[in-house]
Structure 1
């Protein structure tokens, strides 16, 4: 059934386009010596209020239908048009993108219609997936045993005899709960002369290997931009850099500035703020208090394997460099042939040179991958050189085991569990809403890709795709050639609502066609 279109699609406030199809005078077409003016052309007059998009739409339609487009559709430069005047030889200027599937947005795409029958199962499926993952993470985290002792104020709070450690300074997570007698065994003593802090602690159940000894720092921002960039890669790779080379810097490469050399001009090795602030507390092997058994620990294997490739033995001689300022306590006499650090094999240095992303972090210091740390009372000496007073921070010893998912941490597991609960609640709520208060879905036939194509009808008999038949162009040419009056709008352009549907791959093209055609529907006859 053919339905006549009665309302022109013009925007309020914009003038109506005045168009005619008649033999064009020679002033409106480009005339060349070989070819005269064609017998017909399309012209229109645009009023000052005509929008830029309307002019472009009509020009595109004329181009599509084969009509003579070598006319100034914008009225020339003096009238604010997009194209040069007809009597000018300047090339036509346009910013229209190329007619490709990518630039014209005709690439096939999947546009799902998210309805309740699809959404509800998705929520339940996510809940079923997230819940086991969260439970597995919590289970593996529960297998890890951990002991944390904050010894920041050990040298100032403890004395030369064993005294109880404040309960707020240590935390435990063991498979076997601690008894009051076990808690009483947590003690410490200090020796300020040697800066040694002795920590005594109880382990109620065996620690299976690997057993890891970490240091934990709080309120230290190692991710600061100036701090991270304060190093010289060439020096770390073994090159003997001079003072001037270490001092040079720019806005994007600070190198070792300001820690590049001492007051005498001797370069620091290694230079920069990261190396200077290296954690230098020493964890000694723990000793069982009952029988004096020493549990062996080592620093081999604490760094990532590829970190070794970032460092090389230095070409410096010990007399050519000095230790950084914070290393003077460890090297009071400076460097010599016996204590010159080999950065390539120094894994504690490798670990420290990886800045942390947060202000509270822990780093691996020692480990044992073969022996079980048995239950009982243990004592461990810590040489405390690393100062935390300058940045109001804290430091702690962390003794822990490991699992297939890493160390102890319940945050990720609980995140999955909470996500599963939220998805389940949403699924149940949507199910109750659909069953209790059902709502009729919109008619899919009203979607743009399900609407009938726009057709051009001539004499009420011809009905075809605008892109396939070009009926408008044929009709315009026939009428212009015969000089017949232009068919009025109600008879020339109609919407062929006969049930034909556009193909999926022509959806965007036909929608663009409808926009262009809407401009022509506003034309009326001229005498």
Structure 2
């Protein structure tokens, strides 16, 4: 009997089997092969020749990369000057805390740096702090990113404790990170001529435009009884206070550098650079060190030999491994897929 859709019926159940059981059996078979890890696959055999070749090629490729990275790192010129001890007057060196906490004592200090190699502009000026743990869990959490974007419109500033309010009024920006803002200052001169030092565009553009509000101004900042670090200009929005933006990008290690500015003129060999600095920041309370760093940069960034040394070391190790494997293979060759070398074959032979 024909149906309306053109099919047919079979009352006895005889005839060709329906497609559903066939599909089900196919799926079951495929699933069984998948669970038994018996699907078609490429199974490369790592013969001794392939292993030796891979190690050798890895070393040949990586070592030149490391040498290029080392050359780029060595092409940068750095001047590092630690000033936290020398900028303390002789009579206060036994008690540095009393010196740094006494606002009636002048914190002005002068240094002189000698340029050993030519330094091409722009020359990055960093301040370096050692033994300062910006990655401490409590310190990192003590900030409010929504408040940095919205200001007083952001009510939830609970993470900013203990620097959430002062004298019952909210603090903008709140938290321990802005409260501990670095506040040493530097100026440079070559002879009687001031060196052109730019303080603009030292922070990331994304931070200036998106993370810090253009209509958010400091409110009640550093007005408490305990002053942590630098002060902010209440007439400038947070997006223009780049010292704060740079400082609030917390460092991952206890020794770190942060960009202070850029010298926009070349320095020649044997130039004497006079540095006029104000030693305000209290690093003596936690046994920290303060350094002034002048550094050029290459296409790879600043001076850092880690990448080059790591590549050269890894490449040399790979070549040594390749040579060792080659000598072992020549001395004790092992034919590929030889069943006599299987562990159970050796046991049966011993029996």
Matched, 1:293 2:189: no
**Partners in 1 of 2:30 and 2:137 — Cα distance?**
45
| Superposed CA offset, 1:159-183 (max 9, x none) | 9xxxxxxxxxxxxxxxxxxxxxxxx
How far residue 314 of structure 1 moved from its aligned partner, in angstroms, is 4.3
How far residue 100 of structure 1 moved from its aligned partner, in angstroms, is 6.5
2:124 maps to which of 208, 212, 216: 212
Unaligned runs of 5+ residues in structure 1 are 1-63, 65-95, 160-190, 249-254, 448-527
Partner of 2:268: 374
Counterparts of 1:255-274 in structure 2 under 5 Å?
255-262=159-166, 264-274=167-177
| Structure 2 length-normalised TM | 0.77
**Partners in 2 of 1:267 and 1:111 — Cα distance?**
66
1:128 maps to which of 54, 60, 71: 60
Partner of 1:321: 220
Aligned to 1:214, what secondary structure does the other structure show? strand
**Partners in 2 of 1:398 and 1:329 — Cα distance?**
21
Residues 403 and 105 (structure 1), Cα distance of their counterparts in 2 relative to 1, 3 Å cut: same
| Superposed CA offset, 1:378-417 (max 9, x none) | 1111111111122221110001111011111112211111
**Partners in 2 of 1:303 and 1:117 — Cα distance?**
52
Count of aligned pairs between the two proteins: 306
**Partners in 2 of 1:445 and 1:437 — Cα distance?**
15
| Superposed CA offset, 1:289-314 (max 9, x none) | 3xx12111111121111111101134
Q: Conserved in 2, the CA contact under 8 Å of 1:144 and 1:402?
A: yes
Aligned to 2:124, what secondary structure does the other structure show? strand
RMSD: 3.2
2:107 maps to which of 190, 195, 198: 195
| Superposed CA offset, 1:196-218 (max 9, x none) | 12111111332102201001111
Partner of 2:293: 398
Is 133-142 or 231-240 further displaced after alignment? Answer: 231-240
Residues 329 and 362 (structure 1), Cα distance of their counterparts in 2 relative to 1, 3 Å cut: closer
**Partners in 1 of 2:116 and 2:51 — Cα distance?**
50
How far residue 330 of structure 1 moved from its aligned partner, in angstroms, is 5.2
| Superposed CA offset, 1:206-259 (max 9, x none) | 2102201001111111112221121112221133158x743x4xxxxxx21111
**Partners in 1 of 2:121 and 2:241 — Cα distance?**
23
**Partners in 1 of 2:326 and 2:179 — Cα distance?**
62
Partner of 1:514: none
Matched, 1:305 2:205: yes
Q: Conserved in 1, the CA contact under 8 Å of 2:216 and 2:238?
A: no
Aligned to 1:270, what secondary structure does the other structure show? coil
2:31 maps to which of 68, 84, 99: 99
Aligned to 2:291, what secondary structure does the other structure show? strand
**Partners in 2 of 1:433 and 1:413 — Cα distance?**
30
| Structure 1 length-normalised TM | 0.53
Partner of 2:183: 280
**Partners in 2 of 1:315 and 1:373 — Cα distance?**
39
Matched, 1:155 2:52: no
Which of these two proteins has the greater Rg computed from alpha carbons? Answer: 1
More helix by share: 2
Q: Conserved in 2, the CA contact under 8 Å of 1:269 and 1:324?
A: no
How far residue 101 of structure 1 moved from its aligned partner, in angstroms, is 6.1
Q: Conserved in 2, the CA contact under 8 Å of 1:312 and 1:344?
A: yes
Residues 351 and 434 (structure 1), Cα distance of their counterparts in 2 relative to 1, 3 Å cut: same
Aligned to 2:294, what secondary structure does the other structure show? strand
**Partners in 1 of 2:340 and 2:205 — Cα distance?**
62
Partner of 2:278: 383
Residues 329 and 413 (structure 1), Cα distance of their counterparts in 2 relative to 1, 3 Å cut: closer
Aligned to 1:99, what secondary structure does the other structure show? helix
**Partners in 1 of 2:334 and 2:262 — Cα distance?**
63
**Partners in 2 of 1:401 and 1:359 — Cα distance?**
23
Counterparts of 1:99-498 in structure 2 under 5 Å?
99=31, 105-156=37-88, 193-241=105-153, 245-246=156-157, 248=158, 255-262=159-166, 264-284=167-187, 286-289=188-191, 292-308=192-208, 309-314=210-215, 321-323=220-222, 325=224, 339-368=234-263, 370-375=264-269, 376-443=271-338
Unaligned runs of 5+ residues in structure 2 are 1-24, 92-102, 343-351
**Partners in 2 of 1:269 and 1:392 — Cα distance?**
29
Partner of 1:69: none
Q: Conserved in 2, the CA contact under 8 Å of 1:236 and 1:314?
A: no
Residues 444 and 357 (structure 1), Cα distance of their counterparts in 2 relative to 1, 3 Å cut: farther
How far residue 446 of structure 1 moved from its aligned partner, in angstroms, is 11
Which structure has the higher relative contact order (CA within 8 Å, separation 6+)?
A: 2
Residues 328 and 148 (structure 1), Cα distance of their counterparts in 2 relative to 1, 3 Å cut: closer
